[in-house]
Chains A and B, each alone.
Chain A
């Protein structure tokens, strides 16, 4: 479907005129050959052109992402205290063997997995559910939509610090508030309690991220053709049936995009854990990123920290692989 208000439209119309220019057969064949050659060139079989577009990005990408990535891999095979460059000592796969004997590493790995799965599920459910709720215009819908995006633009540091204040068991707001509404039984040590700390951090992550995803869903919903919804109504479908059997399937690509973005965000988790609990209490909220950070900067074991990071990278690569496969299957046109 071409839009006639696009600037390229002018090019289209003049183009058509050119190909219907009168003239003898010979000259027209010449023109066609010439334009064929030009088209081949312009259709991107020019290595020079491709380089011009791709190289600038690749210089930065290669120089400042790929090279540190390779360096991290290399560092994972060394032992280094991180204090002076003269002390880097290669030590083979010693660090990786050490990982298998490290209970905190295994805990952190589990926590990352829990984090990944729960934050994705919760983010999708919350943002999709709320999107359904605010997709129609009603009194106050604009206000809600505006408010829901706010957490996404707040600084993670600020939010984590505020969470610490609010959840303070003796000086905070949550426990007195719970007692005031009669839910005093739920009051407790929150971030100090090994069984509550990780769930709180998961909730924090969902709180931070649902707003932007809500809009992604809204956008997806608004581009669904109206006829489908009307057809469903004509068929007598109740709203929940329409959602389940019509809306959700049609929004397949949107769901895939949200899954991908949520996965990316959850693997990046570091700042919120670092500020709110530093991985505590006693490693109850330790994730690979915070454990690697501790080893590298406090533990004088940069090589070991790099090995932990490498494991995280490998895990994310595996997930990315599955995403690409799923996307290919889903995009069968």
Chain B
């Protein structure tokens, strides 16, 4: 007797059989991507991602037996994805990441290949290959684990010339100028500076920039190492106070502590704010989605224009490394060779997309705004001593950087925490992490 249920069960059973055969046929069930497939994982988006894809295509044409697949990872998910990816059976062959602390983390865990020999042979192909900044970004216990790719700095303020003209604004040279501009703009519905700190780092960068001016790179490095300086030293509190005052002066839009980076870009690009501070990668965004005004950039204002700081916040925030456990290190070296070779024009492609690439000769493809930033960084990199410092969260453990610095800076900008309190919290976190 064929009853309703047995028909139902048959239906379910056939569904499972169908699913199983689909799995078997497509081979999806076992190991997707094939064990040991070649891949390069990166964080580029928009035109930068296009450049990466062009480079990969170029490599694949030259090496048809060793084709690489590219995988773009959204910036927010990078931590989760890279961690699980590195310890999986299918790690990437080549990895693009952000250097500095991440180099320490990944190399320290044995996940990156020691490429010191390769680097010594090829560093001449890179502008500033000998600089201290590269060592900071890529060295761990005396060995090199990554190659520099794109450099950037946050030492600029992008501005909207249409709004500048409309409100008769004088381009600011000092931090105090910003406060007077805020007074000028009161009631107009337009804000001075686009800043949304929901992601933390946009506000943290302001504090970093101010700290470099107030304290100098050496002191920051000492505080990061908790050796010779502390985060609640006077100059850091001063920098926190600068940020706090800016917030109180109404320089930032309402709701500064929330919303994400995309919304922050939206404010600037839609003409609701006059200025915005962010890294030079923004040039790439301007190439992707050009607004209806011709964005300009001026150097980041100084706390004291009479004594400007020559040191800059920035560094090699896009680096490439070969992973240690993919089993495909030979192919990895080939990929790095391809990247470094000026003849393949890999660097040029990235420069065209608006990123500041450091392969020799790549600056030929940079537009004037990007080239100006490149020159600023070059000047600082060529000076003796430490004049370029990476984003601070890359120098300290996450509980200090991504937690205390990010959240604290957002709170400073929003005026919900006092400068002294901010500094004390930060120092407490750093001391706890050091143990």
Contact = CB atoms under 8 A, between A and B. Distances in A.
Instruction: Tell whether A pairs with B.
Output: yes
Nearest to A285: B258
Contacts of B411: 281-282
A190 B258 contact: yes
Chain A CB within 10 A, most for which of B3, B200, B259, B267: B259
Contacts of B270: 171
A280 B202 CA distance: 14
Contacts of A282: 257, 407-408, 410-411, 416-417
Nearest to A197: B258
Nearest to B106: A83
A192 B87 contact: no
Nearest to B196: A192
B414 interface: yes
Contacts of B106: 83
B154 to A, nearest CB: 21
Interface residues of A, number: 33
A169 B258 CA distance: 9
B3 A83 contact: no
B33 interface: no
B21 interface: no
Contacts of B257: 189, 192-194, 280-282
A331 to B, nearest CB: 28
Contact of B105 (A81, A86, A190, A197): A81
A192 B414 contact: yes
A278 B79 CA distance: 14
Contacts of B369: none
B145 to A, nearest CB: 13
B263 interface: yes
A50 B286 CA distance: 66
A85 B417 CA distance: 39
B86 A83 contact: yes
A170 B258 CA distance: 11
B4 interface: yes
Contacts of A278: 198-199
Contacts of B256: 189, 192
Contact of B87 (A83, A189, A294): A83
Which DSSP category, helix, strand, loop or mixed, fits chain B's interface? loop
Interface string B250-270: 000111111110010011001
Interface string A6-25: 01000000000000000000
B391 to A, nearest CB: 15
Contacts of A87: 109
Contacts of B111: 83-84
A164 interface: yes
B399 A299 contact: yes
Given A192-B258, A299-B399, A169 B109 contact: no
B433 to A, nearest CB: 10
B232 interface: no
B198 A297 contact: no
Given A84-B87, A171-B272, A300-B398, A280 B4 contact: no
A192 B410 CA distance: 10
Contacts of A197: 258
Contact of A281 (B3, B87, B198): B198
A188 interface: yes
A149 to B, nearest CB: 25
A145 interface: no
A104 B407 CA distance: 12
Interface in B52-86: 79-80, 83, 86
B114 to A, nearest CB: 15
Contacts of B198: 191-192, 277-278, 280-281
Contacts of A170: 191, 253-255, 267, 272
A199 interface: no
Contacts of B200: 280
A198 B80 CA distance: 25
Interface string B395-433: 001110011000110110010110000000000000000
B76 to A, nearest CB: 8
Contacts of A294: 402-403
A113 interface: no
B110 interface: yes
Contacts of A298: 79, 398, 402
Contacts of A81: 105, 109
Contact of B110 (A84, A104, A192, A281): A84
A170 B259 CA distance: 10
A14 to B, nearest CB: 13
A197 B259 CA distance: 11
A189 B258 contact: yes
Contacts of A83: 83, 86-87, 105-106, 109, 111
A8 to B, nearest CB: 10
A190 B258 CA distance: 8
Nearest to B259: A168
Interface string B178-200: 00000000000001000011111
A283 interface: yes
B83 A82 contact: yes
A61 B269 CA distance: 51
B341 to A, nearest CB: 31
Contacts of B398: 298-300
Given A83-B109, A85-B87, A171 B266 contact: yes
A208 to B, nearest CB: 20
Contacts of B254: 169-170, 188-189
A9 B171 CA distance: 89
Contacts of A277: 198, 258
Given A282-B410, A299-B397, 6 more contacts: A168-B255, A169-B259, A170-B253, A193-B255, A280-B407, A281-B198
17 contacts: A7-B4, A81-B109, A82-B87, A84-B109, A104-B403, A168-B263, A169-B253, A169-B258, A171-B267, A190-B258, A191-B258, A192-B258, A193-B255, A193-B257, A194-B257, A280-B410, A300-B398
Closest 9 interchain pairs by CB? A192-B258, A189-B255, A169-B255, A84-B109, A83-B109, A281-B257, A192-B255, A192-B257, A282-B407
